Amino acid sequence: MTAASNVMTALFRLRRLAVAALVLTVLGACVHRIDIQQGNFLDKEDIDRISVGMTRVQVRALLGTPMVADPFQGSRWDYVYYFKRGRLHRAVQRHFIVYFDGADKVEKIDRPEPAKKS
């Protein structure tokens, strides 16, 4: 083999390597991210139907099982919702808290506002 053919073989291999690296980079950017949904999706109408004085059974019938029912503080139910579509969209988060009194009736309803990013 001559020096020229060795150079041509090396360039051919380098070109194949560069094309393979380019293909892998392009394919790596095309990763599909699935939608992530967690928690209880609650319509505004369902939340508005909850009122002070309702029982736990009535609240569960309207809103479903709470996402977080703290075993150490049984007087509070947290309904948490998180939804992230793909990888480029901003996540949607909602939080709704129902407080019960000693007679297992709704005492207070809290709708914390999401923290605003500055």
Q: Is the overall model pTM greater than 0.75, yes or no?
A: no
Mean pLDDT of 104-109: 93
pLDDT of amino acid 13: 87
Name 36's bridge partners: 84
Only one residue has tokens 């939080």, namely 95
Q: How confident is the model at residue 1 (pLDDT cuts 50, 70, 90)?
A: low
Residues 6+ apart with CB under 8 A from 28: none
CA 118 vs. chain centroid, Å, equals: 21
d(C-alpha 100, C-alpha 53), whole Å: 9
Distances in Å between the Cα of 5 and the Cα atoms of 52, 57, 72, 112 are: 87, 83, 78, 73
